């Protein structure tokens, strides 16, 4: 499909409080992928943005980590209104939660049973839906929250409208989170 099945990472308050590396917009195929790979040309004039699954701002604490977020193995086609709207809002919230709870674990990815189309010469799959699940601990008790988004929804409302159970995310993705 030329997009990641899922990504997972930890985000800590120390990472958020570290000096930030400058953002470099240099999307490249991942050299670790030995089979065919998406190319940044696949996105040109497709109507889709190169949407980060691990946001570059979450990895700005370390230049290598941030550079890795621009590999196409971390990117999926997203509509501009989705990528710059509700998805970005959740990214900001995750950073706020990492500061409030000291550490969060984030899992995110596409829902593969809902393709919209493909783009580019490499036929990069365009998912209709994306998920994000966040885990943290409060007084040694786990706290989790899940989100499911339909990126083709014309107007994205409040973030609270997309909260779902982790079981719901697992059911549509087939993943055991």
Catalytic residue among 39, 41, 52, 92: 52
Interatomic CA distance for residues 47 and 13, integer angstroms: 35
Q: Give the pLDDT score at 155.
A: 73
pLDDT at residue 36 is higher than 80: no
- Catalytic site residue 39? no
DSSP type of residue 19: P
Interatomic CA distance for residues 38 and 36, integer angstroms: 7
pLDDT tens, residue by residue, 128-151: 999 999 999 999 999 999 999 999
User: Among residues of the chain, what percentage have pLDDT more than 70?
Assistant: 98
3-class secondary structure, 118: strand
Give the strands of the sheet with 124-138, arranged side by side.
Answer: 7-12, 103-119, 124-138, 141-150, 163-164
pLDDT at residue 25 is higher than 80: no
Question: Where residue 26 falls among pLDDT bands split at 50, 70, 90?
Answer: confident
Q: Give the pLDDT score at 161.
A: 94
3-class secondary structure, 151: coil
Q: Give the pLDDT score at 153.
A: 85
């Amino acid at each position: 499909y030329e997009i990641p099945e899922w990504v997972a990472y930890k985000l800590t308050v120390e990472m958020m409080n570290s000096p930030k590396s400058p953002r470099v917009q240099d999307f490249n195929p991942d050299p670790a992928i030995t089979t065919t790979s998406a190319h940044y040309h696949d996105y040109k004039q497709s109507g889709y943005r190169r949407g980060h699954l691990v946001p570059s701002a979450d990895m700005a604490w370390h230049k290598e980590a941030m550079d890795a977020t621009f590999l196409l193995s971390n990117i999926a086609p997203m509509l501009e209104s989705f990528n710059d709207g509700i998805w970005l809002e959740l990214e900001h919230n995750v950073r706020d939660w990492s500061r409030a709870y000291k550490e969060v674990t984030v899992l995110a990815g596409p829902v593969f049973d809902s393709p919209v189309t493909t783009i580019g010469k490499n036929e990069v799959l365009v998912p209709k839906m994306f998920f994000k699940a966040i885990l943290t601990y409060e007084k040694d008790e786990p706290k989790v929250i899940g989100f499911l988004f339909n990126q083709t929804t014309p107007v994205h409302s409040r973030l609270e409208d997309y909260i779902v159970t982790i079981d719901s995310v697992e059911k549509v993705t087939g993943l055991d989170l």
